[in-house]
Amino acid sequence: MKRLLFVLLTAILISCNGKAQTEKETKNMSEKKYAVEKTEAEWKAKLTPEEYRILRNKGTEYPHTGKYNLYFEDGAYTCKGCGTKLFDSTNKFESHCGWPSFDNAIEGTVEYIQDTSHGMIRTEIVCAKCGGHLGHVFDDGPTETGKRYCVNSASINFVDTDGE
């Protein structure tokens, strides 16, 4: 009986420690400083409600509804929050997943964060300059990189090659 009680208490302590670690990691991520910092009021003034929901609250747009899902012009895709160039159009491909997909990001422009929300283990991608949520990256891409950066259209802008 004592052994069973010991095992149960050990399991509870390990479980609580794991939860505390997760909360600590989450807190540290929200305290990270980025080159572009704005108050929530400033973000809300700059972004539409849908852009704010996605970029600042880690939302997701419905599949097959985004402006850039089936958009294949030459140019670059920038962060809607701060204007940082994130993806080149040469890295965009049709993935049939319902969101704009890229096989690579411009080096140093995207941060990778483990995301365990919704009972899944995924890799969230955020803008390295402002921390805006872009989407997720998966290891199931059809190109040489094997990556599929699945991005919300509402988190990016397109800049025509001729317009730069």
Ranges in the chain, pLDDT < 70: 1-31, 163-164
**Domain boundaries of the chain, sorted by first residue:** 1-31, 38-163
Query: What pLDDT, on a 0 to 100 scale, did the predictor assign at position 23?
Result: 36
Q: Which residues are catalytic?
A: 150
H/E/C letters for each residue in 113-156? EEECHHHCCEEEEEECCCCCEEEEEECCCCCCCCCEEEECHHHE
Report pTM.
0.80
Superfamily, domain 38-163: Peptide methionine sulfoxide reductase. (2.170.150.20)
Query: What pLDDT, on a 0 to 100 scale, did the predictor assign at position 161?
Result: 81
Query: What pLDDT, on a 0 to 100 scale, did the predictor assign at position 8?
Result: 45
Q: Report phi then psi at 49, rounded to 5.
A: -55, -40
Query: What pLDDT, on a 0 to 100 scale, did the predictor assign at position 163?
Result: 54
Pair 105, 111: CB distance under 8 Å: no
Query: What pLDDT, on a 0 to 100 scale, did the predictor assign at position 13?
Result: 41
Q: Report phi then psi at 3, rounded to 5.
A: -65, -40
Query: What pLDDT, on a 0 to 100 scale, did the predictor assign at position 2?
Result: 57
